[in-house]
């Protein structure tokens, strides 16, 4: 039997975690042979709800779960963790402007970055789900100077999966036949779902689908899919977000072979994106590392969309610059 690994999950009493925790505990993220210790973080008012979630985890009697820690102290939650999934964040309250939301979350992710820096394993892999995910990730990363910036990633896998599903429906093919898609930029309504290098059964999607549908239906629908779910369900995406978080970590740990996935990662200046931003790129993973797919041709339409979402990320970064140590 392998040694247990430690997995921290924040916002553990929230709705995404209610799907996520049980799937991780049953081995769907790290494998059926990987024992784990769950380290769950919540804020004080949600600790009672978290105790109920822990009771349910206990009642599943999962073979792989060796211990569960439930705490409202980030230092305890991140102690020696190998994986940190930062799901919890402050939702927008009544009268809150976008700037107030950024500010409230900036403080949370700055504190969590510092706690990760001092407590987590030096090899920790961090995934930020809580919104605004890219900028929260940037703040955590900048507050963790002893960790490699490549250890911090933000989730755009749900957007990627949404794009894949929409295309497969449009072309009446199975989702597994759609490949080469990418989400560029911010996990927000400026994100750019790009099909220029995508294909189905060896045929380029750009040759199969007219550009007008892509521009007027596909791109806005992927960008607004979160809102579409809220209006139908009365609640934001939860099970699909948990699924995407699991797939993101699984790809990073186990590799993607030749499959392209979308990940919000530390920009090295590829495709002219400002270095240091957490920007979603097409990536592949191998040996526990991600790499940005290089050398894709970018047409002028794509470049315009990529610039627009980059500009939004720069604006978000500048709004929280006081919480970004050099
Ligand atoms: P919920 O409001 O159900 O749960 C969030 C939980 O986080 C709450 O239990 C809350 O008490 C906790 N929390 C708040 N501040 C915390 C802190 N400082 N430390 C620890 N826990 C804290 O939200 P849920 O539906 O689970 O969504 C969680 C986050 O995911 C939201 O920010 C949401 O916007 C974001 N999403 C991101 C997605 C992505 O693709 N990146 C998609 C799904 C989702 O919208």
The whole model's pTM is what?
Answer: 0.97
Choose the residue to mutate in 41, 51, 77, 89 for probing ligand 1, maximizing ligand atoms within 8 Å of C-beta. 89
Q: Which atom of ligand 1 is nearest to the CA of 129?
A: 41
322 is known as an active-site residue? no
**Any atom of ligand 1 within 6 Å of the Cβ of 131:** yes
pLDDT in the model for residue 326: 79
- The CA distance from 80 to 90, in Å, is 25
**Any atom of ligand 1 within 6 Å of the Cβ of 16:** yes
Instruction: Kindly provide the residue ranges of all beta strands, DSSP E only, lying in the chain, ordered along the sequence.
Output: 5-10, 36-41, 65-71, 83-86, 125-128, 152-154, 178-179, 182-184, 192-194, 199-200, 203-204, 261-266, 278-286, 289-292
pLDDT in the model for residue 101: 84
Choose the residue to mutate in 8, 16, 231 for probing ligand 1, maximizing ligand atoms within 8 Å of C-beta. 16
pLDDT in the model for residue 97: 77
Q: Which one of the listed residues 160, 187, 197, 248 is annotated catalytic?
A: 187
Taking each helix axis from N to C end, the angle separating 47-60 and 15-25, rounded to the nearest 10 degrees, works out to 30
pLDDT in the model for residue 91: 81
- Alpha carbon of residue 261 to chain centroid: 12
- The CA distance from 246 to 312, in Å, is 27
pLDDT in the model for residue 208: 95
Q: Whose CA is nearest to atom 6 of ligand 1?
A: 11
pLDDT in the model for residue 93: 75
**Any atom of ligand 1 within 6 Å of the Cβ of 46:** yes
Mean pLDDT, contiguous 10-residue spans, the chain (326 residues): 96 98 98 98 98 98 98 98 96 78 92 98 98 96 98 98 98 96 96 97 94 97 94 93 98 95 98 98 98 97 98 96 88
């Amino acid at each position: 039997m392998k040694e247990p690994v430690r997995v921290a999950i924040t916002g553990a009493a929230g709705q995404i975690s209610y799907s996520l925790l049980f799937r991780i505990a049953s081995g769907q993220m790290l494998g059926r042979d990987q024992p784990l210790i769950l380290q769950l973080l919540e804020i004080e008012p949600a600790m009672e709800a978290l105790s109920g979630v822990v009771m349910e985890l206990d009642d599943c009697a999962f073979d792989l779960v060796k211990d569960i820690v439930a705490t409202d102290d980030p230092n305890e939650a991140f102690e020696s963790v190998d994986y940190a999934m930062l799901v919890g964040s402050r939702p927008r309250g009544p009268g809150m402007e976008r700037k107030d939301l950024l500010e409230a979350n900036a403080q949370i992710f700055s504190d969590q970055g510092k706690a990760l820096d001092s407590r987590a394993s030096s090899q920790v892999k961090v995934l930020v789900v809580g919104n605004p995910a890219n900028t929260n990730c940037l703040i955590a990363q900048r507050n963790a100077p002893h960790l490699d910036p490549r250890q911090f990633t933000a989730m755009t896998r749900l957007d990627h999966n949404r794009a894949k599903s929409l295309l497969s429906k449009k072309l009446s093919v199975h989702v597994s036949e759609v490949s080469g898609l990418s989400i560029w930029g911010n996990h927000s309504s400026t994100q750019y779902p790009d099909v220029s290098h995508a294909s189905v059964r060896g045929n380029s999607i750009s040759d199969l689908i007219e550009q007008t549908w892509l521009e007027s239906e596909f791109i806005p629908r992927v960008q607004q899919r979160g809102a579409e779910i809220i209006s139908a369900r009365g609640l934001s995406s939860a099970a699909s977000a948990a699924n995407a978080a699991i797939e993101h970590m699984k790809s990073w740990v186990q590799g993607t072979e030749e499959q392209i996935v979308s990940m919000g990662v530390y920009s090295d200046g590829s495709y002219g994106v400002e270095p240091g931003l957490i920007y979603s790129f097409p990536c592949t993973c191998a040996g526990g590392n991600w790499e940005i797919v290089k050398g894709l041709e970018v047409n002028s339409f794509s470049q315009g969309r990529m610039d627009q979402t980059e500009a939004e990320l720069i604006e978000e970064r500048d709004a929280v610059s006081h919480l970004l140590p050099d």
